[in-house]
Structures are given as C-alpha cells and as structure tokens.
Amino acid sequence: MSLSDHPRVYGTAALTVAFIAGIFVTLGFKDLYPDLEARYQQGKKRYGRTGNASARRTSMLFGPVSLEDREESSLTSVNRAEGIVDGVEGTIGNTPLIKIRSLSEATGCTILAKAEYLNGAGGSPKDRVALNMIQEAEEQGLLSPGRGDTIYEGTVGSTGISLAVLARARGYKAHICMPDDMAIEKSDLLHHLGATVERVPVAPITDPGHFVNLARQRAREHTASADTPSRGFFADQFENAANYAAHMKTTGPEIYAQTGGGRLDAFVAGAGTGGTIAGVAKYLKEERGLGSSLRVVLADPQGSGLYNKVRHGVMYSPTEREGTRRRRQVDTMVEGIGINRITQNFEAGRGLIDDAVRVTDEQACRMARWLVEHDGLFVGSSSAVNCVAAVVTALKMPKGSRVVTILCDSGARHLSKFWKHIAEMGLEDETQEQDDDLFTVLGIEKRTEVAS
C-alpha cells in the first residue's frame, strides 16, 4: 500500500471505531455508568426540563454546584420540579442555616444556626426523629395503619408534638406522658392535636411513675389487652437507635452540604436524648471524615450531669451512682435538654464529643432576649442554651472560624415558663438598658487576644 492511501485507510478506521463506540455507549451507558445516570436524573429533578442546560451538565458530572443543591432528605418524599411535597412528612427537613449576625460580629467568628423550628410537622428537630421511629416500626411490623395502633411516648414536649402530628397523618393514635412541670402550652397543643396526655409528677428514672416508664407500661398494657387486635408501640426516643440515625440520614448531610462540603470548625448542641449531637457528630466526623478537624461541643444547662461526664468522665461524685438521685431530673427551667443519665443515643456519639459548656438559666434568659432585640429571633430555652455555648466555643477558636449550632423550637412553646421568667427578670422592660455588649450581658470574658 502506498503512502498516499494512508489517509483513506485511517479515515475509514476512525469512522468504524466511532460507529462501534456509539452503539456501545447507546446500549450500555446506563448499565456501565449507573452513577452518572443517577446524577443526570438528579440534575433533571433539580433544574427541571427547561432549566439551565449547563447547570444540569455540571451537576451530572461533578455533583451539586450551589448551596441549594443539597442532598434530599431520605425521610421525606419531595417533587422539587413541581414544588409539591407528599403530605405533612414532606415538610420535614431541608431547614435553612442562618447566620446570626450579632453573635458573629461580637465573636469574630461566623456563627450559623440550623433553624429546626421551621420543620413543618411539629416545628422542631424531633420531627425527623418521630418520622424515622415510625417508619422503622412500620418496617418491623410493630405499627400497622388502620389497625387501631397507638404510639406511646414519654417526653417533655417536642417529641410528643411531632409524634402526635405524624400519628394522625399515618393512621395512628398518640398517648403522651410528660412531667407536670413542663410549660402548659405544650400539653394544651398535644390535646388539640388529638393526643391523650398524662401529666405526671416529676420522679427519678428509677421510679415506675417516671414519665418514660409510665409510657412504656401503657404500651405493654395496650398490646396485652385481649379485647382489641390493635397494638401499643412504645417509641422509646431515649434508647431507640432510630433517633440518632435520623440525624445521620438528614441533619448531618444537610449541614455538610449547606456549609459548602463541610467547611465548619465546630458543632455545638445540647442533649436530652442525645440523638442530635450523636447523629450529626457521627455523620460529620466518621462518614465524612472530618475527624479531629471538627470540634463537637455539648451545650448543657445547669443541673444536668452530662457536662461532668464529658469533661471529667463521671456524672457526680464517687459516692453517687448515676440515675439514683432522689431529686428532680434537672434543676433548671430549660426544657428539652439536660439529663442525669447516659442514654444509648448519647452513648453512640459520646466518644466524638470534644468538650462541654455549662450554661446557667440566667445566661439562657439573657441570650433569648438578646436574640430578639438584635436578630429578630424568638426561640425557646434549649436554643438559647445552644447559642450561649456557641459564643463560648467561638471565643476559644481562631477568628474567622465557623461554628454551627441548632435553633430547636420557637419561643411560643415557652411562654408560661421560660419567657414568663424573662419578663419577671425585667429583661422585657422598655427602660432596660439595651446598649451593653454581648459579653457583659452574658457575664463572660471577651476574647483576650486576636487568634489567627
């Protein structure tokens, strides 16, 4: 063959190879590259059929291209293209991450708060937990819609509210046991949501009359009853692993995506059941590999034993065993966080918690009022504790660090107790001096030196 024939041969060969490759790609693309196909379909959902084609191609090949392109909650059913969610469950998750300007300016760090009070079912992070516990119980055959089943739970309020909403939505009844020193508006709301409410005297966990033990007993009695085919399901939020798993599935991934792929230096949260701090810590530190680069800090109210457990390894002095003190559960007006025993949910993430900050009731009250005055945020007691601890944590970190915390629920659930006390302190008086700096208000020291 002469050299003059080479171009023709090469051209024919190139066309043949291209034709075969085209057939191969057409027939086998989806099977050989399922990840790219999944990304392509995900991109179509995000941007719609008429959306930006370039953005779709970028999303398909390289993943999310903006903060809004975060992972969808695995607990909810969402049709983003049409703007429709499936039932009240679809309103759970994907809550915004808010920069709290006043706290950021005061500390020199960026303090971000996950606005969990904007969850659309019960208005707290417990929406995620309640839904996951119900879904797992259904998968295990412990709950069946239409059979007359009842969900029983011992709670100080928020989990009960979430369960009451979701129980009705999924064909169940709810029976809630709660301490009688909780804000009355919580039990009133539960009643209006159709739940049976038992307010019981405060007792230690060793007492059969403790609100959690009573809920467990009520569920057993229901299931054992011979006159009905229905069953009683004890949700058991303190020990049920579906609690922290809900935050591993949803809250943690959302925070990771909203911070641009895990660009945060500290995560601060209180613990009641321990599910939030354990689930988020496990996701960020273990699944996303942030490890020691992320500082996880417990926010603990006065009277709780968890601060000592994290800082010193023991709840109390050597003469007192955990969970046996004959006293009120926690000596604080803060509701929702603080406890004097180690739950399985807290234990699941305890080894990932680096530090703890103890917050007094007075600091929580002053922070709640500060947030209203300076940021327009009206929050409950546990949110205020989280924000105080976030400030303290920020002051120990280099300037410019990013600290993420949780805004758990609205102040509307705390009017008769927490916010009533704030008013009694005179913090809502118009003549009250509002010009003090944050650190004077909280009674903590300012940053002593500029860290870099």
285 is catalytic: no
Q: Which class for 73: exposed (0-12), middle (13-18), buried (19 or more C-beta within 10 A)?
A: buried
At residue 200's C-alpha, the angle toward residues 198 and 202, to 5°, is 150
Find the length of the chain: 452
Query: 434 in helix, strand or coil?
Result: coil
Catalytic residue among 45, 99, 126, 186: 126
CA distances from 359 to 46, 335, 393 (A): 42, 13, 12
Answer for the pair 355, 298: CB distance below 8 angstroms, yes or no: yes
Amino acid 445 reads: E
Answer for the pair 298, 316: CB distance below 8 angstroms, yes or no: no
- At 151, list the tokens: 């969900």
Answer for the pair 374, 436: CB distance below 8 angstroms, yes or no: no
Rounded Cα distance, 72 and 377, in Å:
26
- At 245, list the tokens: 């798993």
Query: Which residue is associated with the tokens 């996880």?
Result: 296
Beta strand pairing status for 196-200 and 232-234? unpaired
Q: Return phi, psi of residue 422, to 5°.
A: -60, -45
Active-site positions read: 126
